[in-house]
Structures are given as structure tokens and as C-alpha cells.
Structure 1
Amino acid sequence: HILGRYYLWGEYVEKDEKRASSILVDLAGKGHWGSRGWCHKYGYGPYEKSVEKAVECYRKGVEEGDEVSLCNLGYCFRNGTGVDKNEKEAVSLYHRAAKKGYPAAISNLGYCYDIGIGVEVDKKKAVQLYSQAADKGYAAAINNLAYCYECGDGVKKDKEKAIELYKKSADLGYALALNNLKRLGIAYTPCPPK
């Protein structure tokens, strides 16, 4: 599933939505509920574009303990997408997926602690979670950790460390990291890993 996501967003690899949809449709056909939910979310392959059907798939995946479904359903609850908004439920689902080691969920949980979604703001906890997801190579978490270093949120302010992390995130294809470097007045051409 994660490979399909990478192709969809152009992280770690060159963006290729056709390849992303092919991977996700293949996994959905093999019974992976998280992938089937994404297929419904984006209308890939034979799957009707439907937020409601995506949520239904995620719920079935959650029943089976699928970390992708746990994370995606958490996202739905966080934003009120296809379900009534419930930030505490989002945090609970992210936490369950994070315990399984799923980097996107670890990062999303960090974001909840960072800005107080469903939990009290805890910048140190956010940094800990971003670091954990960053150690797994998750580009969004690396970017968010860089921002913490840039601002001194939950960690000692360190602009050089922030720049280093923004570059690492940008190298992995995370566009927001490039924007953050530009905001700091730094022109940077990413060097994607081989």
C-alpha cells in the first residue's frame, strides 16, 4: 500500500498516478481494505469514487487490525470526512496504528499533540513522535520535525538542524519542505535517493 502512496504523491519516487492506481487496485483486489478504501476515495479502477464506501472499507480493515485502515479512518474522524468529526476517536485510531509501527500514523499522532487535536498540546511528545516516524524515513514527519527545530517547539531551537532536516525531507520528494526552505531564503535542488 505504501508504495502506491509514494507514487501518488511523488515521495521517494517520481510521481506517477497511473502506477499508484495500478498498485492500489491490485492490492484492493487481493482484499486489502485500506487500499480498497483509497481506490474508492480516488475512484481508481473499477471502484466507484465514494467517500462513504471508502469509510466502509476502512471500518472493515479496522476490524481486522489493518494499520492503513486505522490511520485512514483516523484521518476521516479528524477532518469529518464521511463521518461526524471526532478528534478523540481520530487520536485513538492513530494511536492503535502507531503501536503497529505505521509511520504515517505516528506522524499524524505527533501532529495531534503538536497543535492539540483531540489531546492537550504537548510539543515534547510531538517531537518524540515526529522523531520516531522520521527514523522510519517518513518525509512529512521529517519536515514537521524540522519546523520544531526551526521554532524551538518541544526541542532546543537549532536553525542548522532544521535546514538539514528540511533538505532531507525535500530529497524524499516532500514539496512542503522545499517551500519551507524557500521561506528561509534557501534555494535548494533536491537530490532524491537512488
Structure 2
Amino acid sequence: MILLKEHGEVNSASRIKISHDANIFEPIYEELTTYDNGDRLPNTWVTRAVYDDDDNYLGHTYTAVYVSENDPDGEDALYYGGGLYDEGMSLTDPAHADARHDCFKTAELLYRHAAAKGNALAFMCLGYVYYYDRCNGSYWVNLDELKTDEDYRRPFPTKERAFACFKAAADTGIAEAFYKLGDCYKNGIGCDPDERKAFQSYEQAAKHDDGKYAYLSGSIALRLAGCFEEGIGCEHDFTRALECYETAERYLDLAVSCGDYYYQGALRGARNGIARCKQEISLGEQ
């Protein structure tokens, strides 16, 4: 487990003294862990956000050092990486751009620790980091992989990494990973565009979805609806499209009602899709 230490204490597993002057986002290069997948990753600080009494963001305080050997299944890395990712997503003020970037960089490092231990959810989370290029091309790279000047100049393969991570997670049956894999196939992210595989991935997402998360069920239904309406990887079917749009509306309305305002646009899309399909059906289209 993560070892929580007070300021000034020494974490024996990391042999690093935590000081008030430490850079809380700087990897601890003295403690590289080599994994079976070839990754050589450093331990890093674990932090938490600090807010004032009016909920204004003040910055971070460090709470621990992440020590790989104390986290055999990667659950700690996944948990703390998720907290940093969520924190980064919340920092929309341009004044906090550097802090946002640091949050995502540390989240990527922690997710990679977890993924290297075989944690499927960590692969999915990494997929999001790379799909949206949260770190703006600045990711952890093992220097021994950079053997030529061309290696140094080559951009980090974010799209290819996103596809590979979503596929690895989808192969374990994670519904959300299937629908993001479908997005990759549909949009040619890290792979050649393939509408049939996109549709099949969305179908698998629906098959594996347990309905526990409204935003997820709604997002999957919305993508299937678009496929049926546009004939993406399947035959045009406005009746099926309408059914899926109505399912998407029901779940997305619930998600927004529960505070997931990010999905307001998707909810509008579902409602517009319902109107379009009803019109097509009224004109005799099926």
C-alpha cells in the first residue's frame, strides 16, 4: 500500500527525504522499476489538491511517495492516478494551465505503473490520456529507447498508444473500453478507419454494459443510434436508430440530472436524433 508520510520523514522504500522544497510532480529517478512489458518507470509523489474556504483552488500538498513494490496489483496507482486526472480536468482556468499539465503527466505515470502490473482499468484510463493528448505530447519516455537523433525528434505516438490501450482494456470485457475502441475505428485514431469494426465494438460495449453508469449507457446507445441512422457499419434502420436514441436520451437525461453536465451536448444530440428519425419514419423510411 501507499505509505503516508509527514513532511520531513524518510520513506525507507524510496530512500528519498520529503522536504518542503520538493517538486511534488518530479519523478524520483533513483527508483526505476523495470516491468515485463519493457517499461522502466520511476516512483513519484502522490499529492492532493488544496482549496480555500471559498473552494478556490490553491495548489497541492504532497501526501506520500508512490512505491511500486508496495502495490502489487496496481490498485493504488490507479486510484491516485484517477484523482490527479480528475483534478486536471477540473482546472479549466488558463491561470492553472501548468498545474493541469502536471496533473496529467503524473496521472499518466501512475496509470502506466498500474497497467504494467496487468490492471485492465489502467489501460482504459491511459487510453483517455493519449486519445485526448492530455499532456500535449509530453509523456514519460525511457531514454534508453532513444538511440538516434531521429528517435528524439519523433513525436510521441499518442494515437497509436490510445488505440492499443483501449484494445487491451476491451479484450478484458470492459464496456467503456469497447465504445472508445469503436470511436478509434470510426475516426481512424491509431488505426485505419473501419466502420464495420466500429459498429461491432459499439455492439460489444452494449453487450458488456451492466447499466450501472448512466453516462456510459447513454454514450453507448448514442453511438449505436448514429450507426443505424447513418448506416455506419450496418444497414440503415431508422426504427432501430430511434430506439437507441430514446435509450440514450433516458440515460443521458439521468446523468445530467445527477450533475454530469458534460453530457448536456450529448443529450441534445439524442433529442435531435429522435426528432430526425421520427420524421424519416413518418415519411415511410424504415
TM-score (norm 1): 0.71
Q: Choose the corresponding residue for 1:183, options 257, 266, 272.
A: 272
Shift of 1:63: 1.0
Q: Choose the corresponding residue for 1:156, options 222, 230, 235.
A: 235
The gaps in structure 1 that reach 5 residues or longer are 1-29, 188-194
Contact residue 166 and residue 177 of structure 1 kept, 8 A: no
Aligned residues: 155
Deviations 1:119-166 (A, max 9, x none): 111101100000000122342222111101011111111112111112
The structure where helix makes up a greater share of residues is: 1
Shift of 1:107: 0.8
Rg larger in structure: 2
Contact residue 249 and residue 271 of structure 2 kept, 8 A: no
Provide the rounded CA distance (Å) in 2 between the counterparts of 1:66 and 1:59. Answer: 9
Provide the rounded CA distance (Å) in 2 between the counterparts of 1:93 and 1:101. Answer: 13
Provide the rounded CA distance (Å) in 2 between the counterparts of 1:162 and 1:101. Answer: 25
Identity between Structure 1 and Structure 2 (%):
26
Bigger drift between 67-76 and 119-128 goes to: 67-76
Q: Choose the corresponding residue for 2:80, options 24, 32, 36.
A: 36
Could you tell me which residue of structure 1 aligns to residue 112 of structure 2? Answer: 59
Structure 1 stretches (4+) deviating beyond 3 angstroms? 174-177, 184-187
Could you tell me which residue of structure 1 aligns to residue 244 of structure 2? Answer: 165
Shift of 1:58: 0.6
- The amino acid of 2:220's aligned partner reads A
Could you tell me which residue of structure 2 aligns to residue 115 of structure 1? Answer: 187
Contact residue 134 and residue 142 of structure 1 kept, 8 A: yes
1:18-97 matches, cutoff 5 A: 31-43=75-87, 50-82=103-135, 83=139, 84-97=156-169
Could you tell me which residue of structure 1 aligns to residue 258 of structure 2? Answer: none
Contact residue 36 and residue 54 of structure 1 kept, 8 A: yes
Contact residue 78 and residue 90 of structure 1 kept, 8 A: yes
2:178 corresponds to 1:134: no
Bigger drift between 76-85 and 65-74 goes to: 76-85
Structure 1 residues 149, 177: CA separation in 2 closer, same or farther (over 3 Å shift)? farther
The gaps in structure 2 that reach 5 residues or longer are 1-73, 89-98, 140-155, 210-215, 256-262, 277-286
- The amino acid of 1:71's aligned partner reads M
TM-score (norm 2): 0.49
* Structure with higher RCO (Cα < 8 A, 6+ apart): 1
The structure where strand makes up a greater share of residues is: 2
Could you tell me which residue of structure 2 aligns to residue 144 of structure 1? Answer: 223
